[in-house]
Chains A and B, each alone.
Chain A
Amino acid sequence: MSAYLEVTHLDYNYPDGTPALFDINVSIGRQEFVALIGQNGSGKTTLSKCMNGLFKPTSGSVVVDGIDTRGKGVVKQLVTRIGYVFQNPDHQLFNDSVQKEIAYGPRNINLSANEVQARVDEAARVAGVAPELYATHPFFLPKGLRQRVAIASILALKPRTIIVDEPTTGQDMRQSVEVMEFLRSLWQAGHTIIIVTHEMSIVARYAQRAIALRGGRVLVDDTVRAVFSQPDLLKQTYVEPPQITRAAQRLDGLSRHDVLTVEEMQDAFRSAISAEASQG
């Protein structure tokens, strides 16, 4: 697995001098689906902002596809490699029409008018923004659609890696599933997806790898299954595995205790019974 994003001995202090991250070492490859988890103040969002160069390392380095985020004039190079979707769509919609909004990024990287339009159409299609909405002012769209426009505006830059801060906050279950299925399809198409989230059932269902942070340090970095198998460790950063995972960990007589979803639990239940049957 070749690293696409390499974080090495990263320390980060806020502008007021408060230290936020200590000696972070994380390496993320092409086409991974990673969740950053941990209680508030653990440094998840700060780390995600260091990853895409919004925050510059106080010491150590962040290198994206060979580009050091501390370099001069790297903004345009970085945005085509790593995109960042903010939690509140209202902060990232500053144009007076959906069309201009999605075209904003491609224009910034000086693409030709034809190429810009092609990018807009493609990003809007992938994100589920209908062309009939192009002329609408983003302010008047419902929140779910504003979020889609925000994602489309990042997709139009075709970044290989996309960071999404709290993709499901304020959404109901059905909307959360929709957003996550969409991110999964991007992942399957070859993108690396990094989500910052508190929803462990979402992590269990969609992410492959989880990085738990605590007090600005990496507490554990492993597959989601392995991370959720250490509930006592996770307690240190106030993260609880999904309910069904915790239930499975408490059951006697299961052949495996690391289930992540209700469907996996059903399989584990069936195989526990049939294993018993074949023995008896």
Chain B
Amino acid sequence: MTNAVVIKDLEWKYEHTTQFALRGINLEIPENTFLGIVGANEQGKTTLINSICGLIPHSFNGVYRGSVEIYGSPVLKMSGLEIATQVGLVFADPEAQFTAMTVEEELVFGLENTGYDLGKIKERLDWAVGVTMIGDLLDKSPYDISGGQKQRMAIACVLAMNPPIIIMDEPTSMIDPLGKQFIFDILRKLKDAGDRTIIVVEHNIEQLAPLADQLLLMQDGQIARMAPPAHFFDDLPNIVGSGVYPPEVTSFAYWLKQSGYVPPEQVLPNRFDEGVTLMQDALRNARDNR
């Protein structure tokens, strides 16, 4: 399988700081997989994705060692535009990324930068608008729509560019529950399409875990753990200790396992329906065994 991103021995220190924000990072992200990144604040999650999308080292000053390659090209040597066509980035605060006065202009802004012809722009625009369900917002000002709509617009902007890699940095942290659900629906669609590499930093593990092929825990500038969601929580107390709270059904299943209500080889569920099934079975078995 081709790797979309390969990081080798990456170290990064922002200028005017004494500690390295990233240390000894080695990571391979296979093409068309979904990577979820979790961890407490200030542990290096955002720094890690900034180094994949080229903001580090292009827009920040600091000490850079090791390498980050996107489809074999080192980020260090690529131009901003080259990176932008490969990697799309969605920020936590959708307001920060606005550059235009209406949603439609915002959407075509990046496309216009690529120099596509008008027909191609229209085609991309329509597709991105469809996936993110914002067709009725096109002539509105980005400032007159809700936070969730803003974030969908921000995602549409990135999709319109059709990059093979999409990175989202806490895309739901500033929006309401309905808006969050829309974002996860979009992520589900993108994952099911299976033709894109997706990297998402997110505190909402309940929603993230069922989508991810791999979960990665950042702690103290290092990759503390990386595993498929089914085994990511095996050492649950340590995960909690790092400031990350597992889905509640996972925590409860862990307790069931520790208390002997389910066998030790039981795989911990992370999806809600799997969790309910496991709980129901455990309850039934425990009562039958009395």
Please say whether chains A and B are actual partners in one complex: yes
Name A residues whose Cβ lies closer than 8 Å to a Cβ of B.
39-41, 142, 144, 169-175, 198, 200-201, 238-240, 242-244, 246-247, 250-254, 262, 265-266, 269, 272-273, 276-277, 280
- Total count of chain B residues near the partner, CB < 8 A: 40
Residue of A nearest to B206 (CB): A243
> Which residues on the A side are within 8 Å of B245 (C-beta)?
173
Rounded to whole angstroms, the CA-CA distance of A165 and B146 in the bound complex is 17
Partner-binding segment picked from B68-76, B120-128, B246-254: B246-254
B40 at the interface (CB under 8 A from A): yes
> Which residues on the A side are within 8 Å of B282 (C-beta)?
269
Lowest 9 A-B CB distances belong to which pairs?
Answer: A238-B178, A174-B243, A244-B248, A40-B176, A243-B248, A173-B245, A172-B40, A172-B41, A277-B290
B279 at the interface (CB under 8 A from A): yes
New A-B pairs, 6, CB < 8 Å, besides A244-B248, A247-B252, A273-B290: A170-B173, A171-B41, A172-B244, A251-B279, A262-B255, A269-B283
> Which residues on the B side are within 8 Å of A238 (C-beta)?
176-178, 181
Are B176 and A39 touching (Cβ within 8 A)? yes
Can you give 11 A-B contacts (C-beta < 8 A)? A40-B175, A142-B42, A173-B245, A239-B177, A242-B248, A244-B248, A247-B249, A247-B272, A273-B283, A276-B287, A280-B290
Partner of A276, one of B255, B275, B290: B290
Residue of B nearest to A280 (CB): B290
Q: Tell me, rounded to whole Å, the shortest Cβ–Cβ distance linking B248 to chain A.
A: 4
B203 at the interface (CB under 8 A from A): yes
Are B287 and A272 touching (Cβ within 8 A)? yes
Are A262 and B248 touching (Cβ within 8 A)? yes
- B 34-65 contacts with A by CB, 8 A: 39-42
> Which residues on the A side are within 8 Å of B244 (C-beta)?
172-173
Rounded to whole angstroms, the CA-CA distance of A197 and B152 in the bound complex is 21
> Which residues on the A side are within 8 Å of B164 (C-beta)?
none
Name B residues whose Cβ lies closer than 8 Å to a Cβ of A.
39-42, 92, 146-148, 173-179, 181, 203, 206, 243-245, 247-249, 251-252, 255-256, 261, 272, 275-276, 279-280, 282-284, 286-287, 290
Rounded to whole angstroms, the CA-CA distance of A280 and B176 in the bound complex is 47
Are A273 and B247 touching (Cβ within 8 A)? no
> Which residues on the A side are within 8 Å of B287 (C-beta)?
253, 272-273, 276
Rounded to whole angstroms, the CA-CA distance of A247 and B173 in the bound complex is 24
> Which residues on the A side are within 8 Å of B279 (C-beta)?
247, 251, 269
Residue of B nearest to A171 (CB): B41
> Which residues on the B side are within 8 Å of A280 (C-beta)?
290
Rounded to whole angstroms, the CA-CA distance of A157 and B206 in the bound complex is 39
Are B272 and A246 touching (Cβ within 8 A)? yes
Are A243 and B249 touching (Cβ within 8 A)? yes
Partner of B276, one of A169, A175, A242, A250: A250
Known: A40-B176, A247-B276. Contact between A272 and B252, CB under 8 A? no
Rounded to whole angstroms, the CA-CA distance of A242 and B244 in the bound complex is 17
Residue of A nearest to B92 (CB): A170
Residue of A nearest to B289 (CB): A273
Partner of A40, one of B179, B256, B272: B179
Are A173 and B203 touching (Cβ within 8 A)? yes
Residue of B nearest to A252 (CB): B280
Are A173 and B40 touching (Cβ within 8 A)? yes
Known: A171-B41, A173-B203, A262-B255. Contact between A251 and B248, CB under 8 A? no
Partner of A243, one of B179, B247, B280, B290: B247
Known: A175-B41, A276-B287. Contact between A265 and B243, CB under 8 A? no
> Which residues on the B side are within 8 Å of A250 (C-beta)?
276, 280
Are B248 and A201 touching (Cβ within 8 A)? yes
Are A169 and B173 touching (Cβ within 8 A)? yes
Q: Tell me, rounded to whole Å, the shortest Cβ–Cβ distance linking A140 to chain B.
A: 12
Rounded to whole angstroms, the CA-CA distance of A40 and B255 in the bound complex is 35
Partner of B176, one of A173, A198, A242: A198
Q: Tell me, rounded to whole Å, the shortest Cβ–Cβ distance linking B28 to chain A.
A: 26
> Which residues on the A side are within 8 Å of B39 (C-beta)?
172
Rounded to whole angstroms, the CA-CA distance of A240 and B276 in the bound complex is 16
> Which residues on the A side are within 8 Å of B252 (C-beta)?
244, 247, 262, 265-266
Rounded to whole angstroms, the CA-CA distance of A239 and B179 in the bound complex is 11
Are A247 and B283 touching (Cβ within 8 A)? no
Q: Tell me, rounded to whole Å, the shortest Cβ–Cβ distance linking B217 to chain A.
A: 12
Rounded to whole angstroms, the CA-CA distance of A142 and B42 in the bound complex is 10
Rounded to whole angstroms, the CA-CA distance of A277 and B287 in the bound complex is 7
> Which residues on the A side are within 8 Å of B283 (C-beta)?
251-254, 269, 272-273
Q: Tell me, rounded to whole Å, the shortest Cβ–Cβ distance linking B162 to chain A.
A: 30
Partner of A170, one of B174, B247, B286: B174
Are B251 and A262 touching (Cβ within 8 A)? yes
> Which residues on the B side are within 8 Å of A273 (C-beta)?
283, 286-287, 290
Rounded to whole angstroms, the CA-CA distance of A242 and B245 in the bound complex is 13
> Which residues on the A side are within 8 Å of B179 (C-beta)?
40
Q: Tell me, rounded to whole Å, the shortest Cβ–Cβ distance linking A49 to chain B.
A: 17
Rounded to whole angstroms, the CA-CA distance of A239 and B178 in the bound complex is 8
> Which residues on the A side are within 8 Å of B181 (C-beta)?
238
